[in-house]
Structure 1
Amino acid sequence: MPDHTAGTARGLAAARTAIETEAAAVLALAGRIDGVFLDVLAAVAQCEGHLVVTGLGKSGLVGRKIAATLASTGTPATFIHAADALHGDSGAVTRRDIVLALSASGETAEVCAFARMLAERDIPVIAMTGGEKSTLARLATYTLDTMVLREADPLNLAPTASTTAALVMGDALACALVAWRDFTQTDFARFHPSGALGRRLLGDELGDELGDEDGEELGDD
């Protein structure tokens, strides 16, 4: 049998380092909740249309989650893939909307091209990026700094700490909007009528109506 002792030790050390690296990246964000964040908060809260989130690759996956969290907490939000935006989907964005564009480097070609199209139409863009002097940041109306010192993987290559930072900044924005709007449990329940959350917030009567004939839940949030 091969001796995996050395590999196991390296793996455990890498796992601990990854957690510590990502935790440090998240903690650093608290110091960036400043005037720019307040400007973004006010702009989104007062937006008459939708907050359209966009990104590509891992940033796109994070963007989908941010859009979903915002929508479920009272902010009209949707996701448009940056590549799809360059093939017609940009037409869904109106002058009443604001776009939140994610790119760790701020140089993702499709995201920057989309942002350039939006700038030409005078549609506000919020850049969420670690590149404060990047192309995306220059095109944006506001820039939320999600810079990390390094990624969490041993090669310092895989999007890990950077995507976690973006996800947490998105959660921070969603939570700030909940407080801004005085969004209540009752409001939240209206968006989550099914599953465990719906039963807990709305009571068994509505939960039973939404379940099957045996009273089982449709699903969990």
Structure 2
Amino acid sequence: MSNLNKIIQIAQETILIEQEAIANLVNLIDQEFAQAVNYIYQSKGRVVISGIGKSANIATKIVATLNSTGTPAIFMHAADAIHGDLGTIQKDDTVICISKSGNTPEIKVLVPLIKSGGNKLIAITSNRDSFLGQEADFVLHAYAQKEACPNNLAPTTSTTAQLVIGDALAVSLLRLKEFTSNDFAKYHPGGALGKRLYLRVADLVSKNEKPQVTEDATIQEVIVEISNKRLGVTAVVNNSKKVLGIITDGDLRRMLAKTTDFSNLTAKDIMTASPKIVESNMMAIDALEILENNDITQLLVADKNEYSGVVHLHDLIKEGII
């Protein structure tokens, strides 16, 4: 067997081992899981998640997922907790400890300290019969029969199982809280995902120039307007600012291909009537769909028949929508 084929086989075996473990987790979601989720849902405090080693890495990811979906959470490293960071835990907080074995020295020291503070303790562990499993108020059983590592040592399947249980916890809370796409946007204002949910055409138009000419404008005036405003387009409007048409730099090139004498031509002669127009309150992502479906790069914006400006494909790229 060649090295390439061997690599493919190893990767497939790894995925199948972890796939089997994840599929088995469905059978481990029980009343105790539901009670733990419900307790967090009704709690007034935060969720403090702790772990050590690779479980600590999983803990930080679950913290991030909870925070981004409306459940306040914070990470506390198990080793640091017993050296001063235990003060992270406040009166109404719920503590989640993540450990495959549930019997690491740090966990055995940390758990009694958490219990003495009166905080509810939730375990995410592969071993229900461990010290952590026995001491916890709720156990979320992240069972992994074996690691994908051929030596059954490197945390692979076990950390994947922990992560999936954490996702199940976060999504359950999200659904109970009726967390909407608008709520999601509030927690992701700077990211592309959030912008897709809250950014409107008005937010883009306000940053752009507003190219416009009248229908009797000369071709020279049209060229100057398009050049000065640097959007590759100008609207053609009447005295009431109602959009009559659009002229793009492509229209100018096509005109020049047909004639070299444009001294008698006006904007009305080369404009495209009835252009694509959107309102400023439209979501930016919807404007992008119109651009893509019509294979164009600019849209004119008008509100109540009055021209407002231009939204360009480059605006959407700059904002990370694409």
- Corresponding residue SS for 1:154: coil
Greater C-alpha Rg: 2
Which of 54, 57, 62 lines up with 2:53 in the alignment?
57
| Larger relative contact order (CA 8 Å, sep ≥ 6) | 1
Give, in angstroms, the shift of residue 115 of structure 1: 1.4
CA contact (8 A) 1:193 1:207 kept: no
RMSD (CA atoms): 2.0
Corresponding position: 1:159 with 2:155? yes
CA contact (8 A) 1:107 1:134 kept: yes
Give, in angstroms, the shift of residue 34 of structure 1: 1.2
- Corresponding residue SS for 1:131: coil
Tell me: CA distance 1:127–1:105, structure 2 relative to 1, closer, same or farther (3 Å): same
CA contact (8 A) 1:115 1:136 kept: yes
CA contact (8 A) 1:152 1:160 kept: yes
Which of 91, 94, 97 lines up with 1:98 in the alignment?
94
Counterpart CA distance in 1 for 2:203 and 2:50 is 34
Give, in angstroms, the shift of residue 133 of structure 1: 0.4
Aligned to 2:81: 85
Kindly provide the CA deviation profile for residues 155-204 of structure 1, in whole angstroms up to 9, marking residues without a partner as x.
Answer: 22110000000000000000000111111111111100012112100024
Aligned to 1:145: 141
Counterpart CA distance in 1 for 2:52 and 2:17 is 23
Q: TM-score, normalised by structure 2?
A: 0.62
Aligned to 2:199: 203
* Structure 2 residue ranges without an equivalent (≥5): 208-313
Amino acid paired to 1:48: K
Q: TM-score, normalised by structure 1?
A: 0.89
CA contact (8 A) 1:54 1:101 kept: yes
Corresponding position: 1:23 with 2:19? yes
Higher helix share: 1
Kindly provide the CA deviation profile for residues 128-153 of structure 1, in whole angstroms up to 9, marking residues without a partner as x.
Answer: 00010001112211111111111112
Tell me: CA distance 1:7–1:177, structure 2 relative to 1, closer, same or farther (3 Å): same
Amino acid paired to 2:78: A
Give, in angstroms, the shift of residue 16 of structure 1: 0.8
Counterpart CA distance in 2 for 1:57 and 1:81 is 9
- Corresponding residue SS for 1:40: helix
Give the number of aligned pairs: 212
Counterpart CA distance in 2 for 1:206 and 1:56 is 48
CA contact (8 A) 1:103 1:128 kept: yes
CA contact (8 A) 2:184 2:194 kept: no
- Corresponding residue SS for 2:159: helix
Q: Percent identity?
A: 40
Tell me: CA distance 1:7–1:114, structure 2 relative to 1, closer, same or farther (3 Å): same
* Structure 1 residue ranges without an equivalent (≥5): none
